[in-house]
Amino acid sequence: MVAIDPPGALRAPVPAGVALGAATPASARLDDTAETIPDTATTLAAEFSKRAELLMLAQQTQQQVLQARIDRMKADFNASQEQRSEAMREMNALRDMAIEQEKKDDEILKKFIAMI
């Protein structure tokens, strides 16, 4: 007796050398709701595109983080240079005042010596 499949039921392909008929188990039937074989090229292209986009976004984020670090370092360097410049200006002003004071002291000393 040969089993007859219900209408719409699909059978899996039979490998070479296997006899058809009653020897084929009922579990070899495919599910009617199973999807068709996916288009591998399209699926791979879509996955590749998605992965490439994710990698680009990750790289962009990493570059933004690095750029933020560089900007912070630049700002810190500029601030320290401004402080250093201000300190040097103050030192120069104090040195100039000291030189002027020494000149005045020398004049006073010369006048004092001239008086003697």
42-87: pLDDT as tens digits: 888 889 999 999 999 999 999 999 999 999 999 999 999 999 999 9
Type of residue numbered 39:
D
pLDDT tens per residue, range 17-36: 555 554 555 555 555 565 56
What is the secondary structure of 16-77 as a DSSP string?
TTPPPSTTS-GGGEEPTTPPPPP-HHHHHHHHHHHHHHHHHHHHHHHHHHHHHHHHHHHHHH
Q: Give 89's DSSP letter.
A: H
State the pLDDT at residue 26. Answer: 53
Q: Which amino acid is at 108?
A: I
Distances (CA, A) of 10 to 23, 87, 90, 100, 105: 16, 89, 94, 108, 116
